[in-house]
Amino acid sequence: MADLRHRPGSAGFRSLNIAMGLVGLAAFGMLYATQPLLPRLSERFGVDATAASLSVSVTTGALAVLVVPATWLGSRIGRRRTIRIGLVAAVGLTLACAVAPTFPVLLGLRAATGAALAAVVGVAMGHVAAEVHPSGLASAMGFYVAGNSLGGVTGRLVASVAVDLTDWRWALAALGALALASTAAFLRLLPATVANIPPPPPAPATAAPV
């Protein structure tokens, strides 16, 4: 039985690694998007530091609560589709946060962002495990985890620089634009699912010549 999973050195393996690295970059950049902006949020909305920190807590909390149900969703509609829907929704919600008129609206949008990211985080590693041959699984997982770490650092860095140059709204817009570009590249690079493709049937037997 042919094993169609991506092996090290193949074009599909490289594309999958880059695509899943971009998933981590976008997802974890959006997850902690407001962390460097807390003083500005306190000032703009007239809330104390504890209340402002809820813009991070509600996002991570929603993700934590929904990450297990997200794995069920991935098994129902497909992991690839679940990641796509979650990323696109999270990008739209992050951009919407940049124009939030009130603090409660911002918190609602951030909670919804966490829910959308649960569909990404809860399914991504399972997708890698299903699509990659065991010989390349360790390096593929490492690439995805590296994308997560890079996303957390890059998101904070972009937001910090942007808020110093402009304000918190433009900082969120810049972060949303970065996540949008990463998502677009992910959608282009992610290979078609091979884990559920049946192998080709064996060639029909032919009679040996007499």
For 202, other C-beta atoms within 10 Å of its C-beta total 8
| Architecture of the domain made up of 22-188 | Up-down Bundle (1.20)
9, 138 Cβ separation under 8 angstroms: no
pLDDT at position 1 is 54
| Residue whose structure tokens are 């590693």 | 125
Tell me the sheet residues that pair with 6.
132
How many residues are given for the chain?
210
For 155, other C-beta atoms within 10 Å of its C-beta total 26
**What pTM was computed for the model?**
0.87
Tell me the sheet residues that pair with 132.
6
Cα of first residue to Cα of last residue in the chain, in angstroms, is 30
- As a whole number of angstroms, the distance between CA 72 and CA 78 comes to 10
pLDDT tens per residue, range 93-148: 999 999 999 999 999 999 999 999 999 999 998 899 899 988 889 989 988 899 89
pLDDT at position 207 is 37
- As a whole number of angstroms, the distance between CA 36 and CA 159 comes to 6
- Please list, in sequence order, all residues whose beta carbon lies within 8 angstroms of the beta carbon of residue 98, skipping any fewer than 6 positions away: 169, 170, 172, 173, 176
CA distances from 54 to 30, 86, 92, 180 (A): 15, 22, 20, 24
pLDDT at position 208 is 37
Question: Where would I find the beta strands (DSSP E) of the chain?
Answer: none
Residue spans per domain, the chain:
22-188
pLDDT tens per residue, range 166-199: 999 999 999 999 999 999 999 999 888 886 544 4
113, 93 Cβ separation under 8 angstroms: yes
More confident: 184 or 205:
184
159, 36 Cβ separation under 8 angstroms: yes
Token couple for 163: 């808020």
- As a whole number of angstroms, the distance between CA 39 and CA 121 comes to 28
pLDDT at position 195 is 66
pLDDT tens per residue, range 11-51: 989 999 999 999 999 999 999 999 999 999 999 999 999 99
